[in-house]
Chain A
Amino acid sequence: MRHPAQAELALAAGADLPLWERWRIRRHLRRCERCRVEMEKFRGARRELASEGARLPGGLDWERLAAEMRANIQVGLEAGECVTLVRPRGRKLGWRVAAALASLALVIVSGWLFHFPGFRWHSVEPLTPAVTATSEGIEVQDANGSLVLRHQSEEPVLLSVATDGAVTASYFDEETGMVTINNVYVY
């Protein structure tokens, strides 16, 4: 008679064999006293393990350990809550915070620039000559001074400005019947 291996009996004790092998072992056990005893020993060991396995290890101060674990779990949960509260806020409001900070920085820098004692806006003197037509005449200005070409008539003067910087003043002299045209060019 061929006896099953120990491993097969060990598995059969917990019904862990495939169906066909389970049937084969069961059939063998009906005829073999020695294997039945072996099988019963495996079952006994299994029962003992199941009943003792759920008990606390010996020499353990469970109350103290349980209190410590409860407290640590509580701390862990609270720490986790803090992290989860902070994280979404950071993700959702990140760009808003950045925009607000950028605006604030701009305001502070602008305020500092305008109110800083050494910082003043100055009117900039023209570096090139400028020509201006007034009721008195045509005035040319530059950094060193100005020159006015006065109109020679009290009559209304016709003024025109060209895009190349020239100003023309035309007027009619009633006494002489002549038309005078003054052209002033600026380069």
Chain B
Amino acid sequence: MGEALPQVLEESAEHRSRFIAENLQRIFVQIYRIVGNVDDAQDLTQEAFIKALQRSGQLKDARKAAHWLSRIATNTAIDFLRRNARVNFCEVDDLPELLRSTEDDDPEQLLLRGEQREYLEAGLAELTVKERTALVLRDIEGLPAAEVAARLGCSKATVRSHIANARIKFRRYLERRKA
């Protein structure tokens, strides 16, 4: 894309189509990893693109378009979770929750479920919404913890706690799956 991206996005349907085509899959996957289901991810992806293209005049630097779009996408997904799942990202889960043992945690059942679904999704599905969101932003999107804290609207210490819990759970899931 050229330097004058914001302007051409507003004026040219061809540039808009190209911008959508180049970023659609990345943004869809990003939102899908946060919300955890295809239907919501589809709606939120559309919403994120519409917001971004309607506000493309606010984008000053064309080189930051992809990052800017990602930020709109994650904010859209986080707002959705706050609204619909009533998630408070600033509450910290207790550690004992990590070690709970239920019928669902039986390795055989987990393995069976994992075979039925893609294993990564099954692993992320074991996390709470807060943990999953923090982990996706930190380890898949590669945002620094401070940026994750800013997007979730809570302290860095709280985000670290979410990330630590999520990594422990996800690692255990992988170990069970491979066992």
Contact = CB atoms under 8 A, between A and B. Distances in A.
Interface of A: 6-8, 10-11, 13-14, 16-17, 41-42, 44-46, 48-50, 52-60, 62, 65-66, 68-70, 72-73, 76-77, 80
B118 to A, nearest CB: 4
B25 A60 contact: no
B65 to A, nearest CB: 16
B174 A10 contact: no
Contact of A7 (B46, B54, B136, B164): B164
Nearest to A68: B42
Given A50-B140, A53-B136, A57-B38, A72 B46 contact: yes
Contacts, number: 106
B24 A49 contact: no
B31 to A, nearest CB: 11
B29 A49 contact: no
Binding site of B, secondary structure by majority: helix, strand, loop or mixed?
helix
Contacts of A72: 46
B26 interface: yes
B16 interface: yes
16 contacts: A6-B168, A8-B164, A10-B168, A11-B160, A41-B175, A46-B167, A50-B139, A53-B140, A56-B28, A56-B29, A59-B118, A66-B25, A69-B45, A70-B20, A73-B20, A77-B16
Given A14-B163, A42-B171, A53-B33, A73 B49 contact: yes
Contacts of B123: 49
Contacts of A6: 164, 168
B66 to A, nearest CB: 13
B40 interface: no
Nearest to B37: A57
B148 to A, nearest CB: 10
